[in-house]
């Protein structure tokens, strides 16, 4: 049975109560205030819903993750990166990145990044929890991604690309930087061929929860002002 969240409580049901079909649907309702979003990621779930739906909270099993040491960069992509077609920055324009991620895409109907969702993550960015990666060609923003950093974990949310390999270049730069800062896992949430090509793989939800317990409050060397 699906749990409906109460607005006056930040508690989520145990991850084991998530539905098998649709895979990982854990709860509905609540709101997107910063305190609840932070609690959700620490608990092991995230919001994902379409406009017109109630807020839906998910914890899929298995969970798609990438361990920084397992990043796979193809020979052609490595060559492309060495040619320095793009410039990569961190946290230079979070609002522009999330707007681009929310923009319509040729292969999808609508977007799950509603105006309410966008405003909520901009608030998390102001709190120093949500971060962006920008990929530039000259002065043009051609790719990027955003997510949340807590302890030694990064929770990826969405990426976009307006030029060849732009999102891949940004993702590789992020993973290599996170590795240098001592991060141990990147949450990719759901599987995709794009992510698997970069080294992501699936792990059981209980194993993902164990990584949360061990590393959510562990110190890292993160400095997003680089």
Q: Provide the pLDDT for residue 106.
A: 55
SS (H, E, C) the chain: CCEEECCCCCCCCCHHHCCCCCCCEEEEECCCCHHHHHHHHHHCCEECCCCCCCCEEECCCCEEEECHHHCCCCHHHHHHHHCCCCEEEECCCHHHHHHHHHCCCCCCCCCCCCHHHHHHHHHHHHCCCEEEEEEEECCEEEEEEEEEEECCEEEEEEEEECCCCHHHHHHHHHHHHHHHHCCCEEEEECCCHHHHHCCCEEECHHHHHHHHHHHCCCCCCCCCCC
Q: In this prediction, what percent of the chain has a pLDDT beyond 70?
A: 97
Read off the pLDDT of each residue in 38-56 and give the average, rounded to a whole number. Answer: 96
Read off the pLDDT of each residue in 29-34 and give the average, rounded to a whole number. Answer: 97
- 109 has a pLDDT exceeding 60: no
- 107 has a pLDDT exceeding 60: no
Q: Provide the pLDDT for residue 15.
A: 98
- 51-97 confidence digits (pLDDT tens): 889 999 999 999 999 999 999 999 999 999 999 999 999 999 999 99
Q: Provide the pLDDT for residue 66.
A: 98
Looking at every residue in the chain, the average pLDDT score rounds to 95
- 220 has a pLDDT exceeding 60: yes
- 209 has a pLDDT exceeding 80: yes
- 132-166 confidence digits (pLDDT tens): 999 999 999 999 999 999 999 999 999 999 999 99
Q: Provide the pLDDT for residue 1.
A: 84
Q: Provide the pLDDT for residue 226.
A: 76
Q: Provide the pLDDT for residue 160.
A: 96
């Amino acid at each position: 049975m699906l749990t409906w969240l109460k607005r006056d409580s930040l508690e989520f049901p145990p991850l084991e109560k998530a539905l098998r079909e649709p895979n990982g649907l854990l709860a509905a309702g609540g709101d997107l205030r910063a305190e609840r979003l932070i609690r959700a990621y620490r608990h092991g779930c995230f919001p994902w819903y379409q406009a017109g739906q109630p807020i839906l909270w998910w914890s899929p099993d298995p969970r798609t993750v990438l361990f920084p040491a397992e990043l796979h960069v193809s020979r052609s992509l490595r060559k492309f990166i060495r040619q320095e077609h793009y410039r990569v920055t961190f946290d230079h324009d979070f609002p522009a990145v999330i707007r681009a991620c929310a923009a319509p895409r040729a292969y999808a109907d609508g977007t799950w990044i509603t105006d309410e969702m966008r405003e909520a993550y901009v608030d998390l960015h102001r709190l120093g929890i949500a971060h962006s990666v920008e990929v530039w060609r000259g002065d043009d923003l051609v790719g990027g991604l955003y997510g949340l950093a807590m302890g030694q974990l990064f929770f990826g949310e969405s990426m976009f690309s307006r030029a060849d390999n732009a999102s891949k270049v940004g993702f590789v730069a992020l993973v290599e930087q996170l590795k240098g800062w001592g991060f141990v896992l990147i949450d990719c949430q759901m599987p995709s061929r794009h992510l698997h090509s970069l080294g992501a793989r699936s792990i059981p939800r209980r194993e993902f929860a164990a990584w949360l317990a061990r590393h959510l409050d562990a110190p890292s060397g993160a400095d997003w002002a680089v």
